[in-house]
Amino acid sequence: SLTQSRHSRHLRACAAALARFGRGDSGDIGDLAVAAEQLRVARRELGRITGHVGAEDVLDIIFRDFCVGK
């Protein structure tokens, strides 16, 4: 069981991304870019549970918290 609500939230987001991947919500099952994006979202959500931080996460924090270029 997941005791932390944060873990539950990330796991639900991961499951939702995988469900969108499985359904092919883009309407075009052959659209690999959309499918890859859903897998990327699912991997990011799992990474937030396990503590894996990627370059994309670091860049998001930098651009959110700092005034870059001013």
pLDDT, tens digit, 9 for 90 and up, residues 40-52: 899 989 988 888 8
Residue 50 included in any domain: yes
Q: 16 falls in which pLDDT band (50, 70, 90)?
A: very high
Within a domain: 36:
yes
Whole-prediction pTM: 0.65
Q: Quick one: pLDDT band at residue 13, thresholds 50, 70, 90? A: very high
Per-residue H/E/C for the chain: CCCCHHHHHHHHHHHHHHHHHHHCCCCCCCCHHHHHHHHHHHHHHHHHHHCCCCHHHHHHHHHHHCCCCC
Does the structure show a pLDDT above 70 at 14? yes
Would residue 58 count as lying in a domain? yes
Confidence of residue 1 (pLDDT cuts 50, 70, 90): low
Q: Is residue 70 part of a domain?
A: no
- Residue 54 included in any domain: yes
Q: Which domain holds residue 43?
A: 2-65
Q: Is 43 a domain residue?
A: yes
Domain count, the chain: 1
